[in-house]
């Protein structure tokens, strides 16, 4: 399939046919990454990584854990 590059403000725009968008799993608002490989423009979706508390805590080790810091007694609205 061929398509035409269009002017969009000061940039260029490329319309993605619906069938291609569905197959690539992209839609309006999807983030994509542009790269040049062997003089070819490559557009690929950026996978959204879901960050969970469990995945963050899995990265805590005795080597990278910070010591507790004493900031003094609670004051004002900090007092429970």
Q: Where are the domains of the chain?
A: 5-61
Residue 7 in tokens? 């002017």
Show pLDDT as tens, one digit a residue, over the chain (80 residues).
888 999 999 999 999 999 999 999 999 999 999 999 999 999 999 988 889 999 999 999 999 999 899 989 888 888 77
Rounded to an integer, what distance in angstroms lies between the CA atom of residue 26 and that of residue 37? 21
The pLDDT, as a whole number, for residue 74 is 87
The pLDDT, as a whole number, for residue 27 is 93
The pLDDT, as a whole number, for residue 21 is 93
CA dist list (Å): 41 to 6, 14, 19, 34, 36: 16, 11, 19, 7, 5
Please state the pTM of the whole predicted model. Answer: 0.53
Residue 2 DSSP code: -
Rounded to an integer, what distance in angstroms lies between the CA atom of residue 8 and that of residue 16? 15
Name the fold adopted by 5-61. Answer: Pemi-like Protein 1; Chain: D (2.10.260)
The pLDDT, as a whole number, for residue 10 is 96
């Amino acid at each position: 399939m061929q398509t035409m590059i269009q002017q969009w403000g000061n940039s260029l725009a490329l319309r993605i046919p619906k069938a291609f968008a569905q197959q690539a799993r992209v839609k309006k608002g999807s983030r994509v990454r542009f790269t040049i490989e062997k003089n070819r423009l490559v557009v690929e979706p950026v996978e959204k990584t879901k960050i969970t508390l469990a995945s963050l805590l899995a990265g805590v080790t005795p080597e990278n854990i910070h010591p507790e810091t004493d900031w003094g007694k609670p004051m004002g609205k900090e007092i429970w």
